[in-house]
Amino acid sequence: DTEVTQTPKHLVMGMTNKKSLKCEQHMGHRAMYWYKQKAKKPPELMFVYSYEKLSINESVPSRFSPECPNSSLLNLHLHALQPEDSALYLCASSPGDRSTDTQYFGPGTRLTVL
Amino acid sequence: SQQGEEDPQALSIQEGENATMNCSYKTSINNLQWYRQNSGRGLVHLILIRSNEREKHSGRLRVTLDTSKKSSSLLITASRAADTASYFCARGPYSGAGSYQLTFGKGTKLSVIP
C-alpha cells in the first residue's frame, strides 16, 4: 500500500467553526508533513512530525493545530480561520530512516473559509 | 527565499513533442527531486537526482543536474496529453529524526495539446 489518504476532499467552513483534516498512511513511514498550497503557487511546508513528535512548525498561526495520534495518522485541527486560509492542504509522508527523502503525497483537502 | 526559479512558467506543446523545464536554486543541495501535480490534486514523485550525479533517466524522463550552475532540467520526451500537469522541482535539508524540509520551486505548467 503506497497510498496516503486525506479526508475530507472538500471542506467549507465559516470563520467561527472548528473542523479537522485527517491524513492516514499505512506504509510504515515515520515522518509526516502538512503543506499549504494557494492557487497557482507551490506547496509551502507548515508542520513536520518525526516519530510522532512535532519537529518543525514553520511559524504557522495557532489557529492551525496539528496532532499525530499514532504513526499512521496525522490530523490538522482548524479553529477561527480567516478567508485567506482558503487553500489546498496537502499531507505527505516519508520513511523517516534517511533511506530516501522522497515524500508521498495525499490528494489534498480543498478548504474554503467563508 | 529558498524557493528556486523554474522556467518557463507555462509551456504549451503538441503531443509527440519534447518538453524541457528548468529549475535553478540558490543553496547547495544533497539531491534534487521533481514532482508532478495534476490540476488541484496531490503531488507525485517523478525522479530524484543526487548531487554527485549529472544525468538520470526514468522512462520518458531525463533529468540533468549542474551543481556548478545550481540548475537542473527535466526533459519529457514524446509527450502525451496525459502529461498535462504542473511540474515542480524540490530540494531541502535534512531536518532531523528522518525528516526532510522540502522547498518547492515555483513550477512549470505544461499543456500538451492532442
Of B31, B40, B88, the CB nearest to A88: B40
DSSP per residue, B21-75: EEEE-SS--SEEEEEEE-TTS-EEEEEEEETT-SEEEETTEEEEEETTTTEEEEE
Neighbours of A61 (CB within 10 A): 11
With bands split at pLDDT 50, 70 and 90, how would you rate the model's confidence at B114? Answer: very high
The answer to whether the beta carbons of residues A47 and A66 sit under 8 Å apart is: yes
pLDDT at residue number B110 = 97
* Average pLDDT taken over every residue of chain B: 91
pLDDT tens digits along A77-87: 999 999 999 99
What mean pLDDT do residues B95-113 have? 86
Of A96, A105, A108, the CB nearest to B99: A96
Residue A69 to residue A92: CA distance in whole angstroms: 16
A42–B3: do the CB atoms touch at under 8 Å?
yes
What residue in A sits closest to B30 (Cα-Cα)?
A: A101
pLDDT at A65 over 80: yes
B96–A101: do the CB atoms touch at under 8 Å?
no
pLDDT tens digits along B8-30: 899 999 999 999 999 999 888 88
Angle subtended at Cα B87 by Cα B56 and Cα A68, rounded to the nearest 5 degrees: 100
What mean pLDDT do residues A24-45 have? 94
B42 φ, ψ to 5°? -75, 170
pLDDT tens digits along B41-65: 889 999 999 999 999 999 999 999 9
Q: Which cell numbers hold the place of A86?
A: 482558503
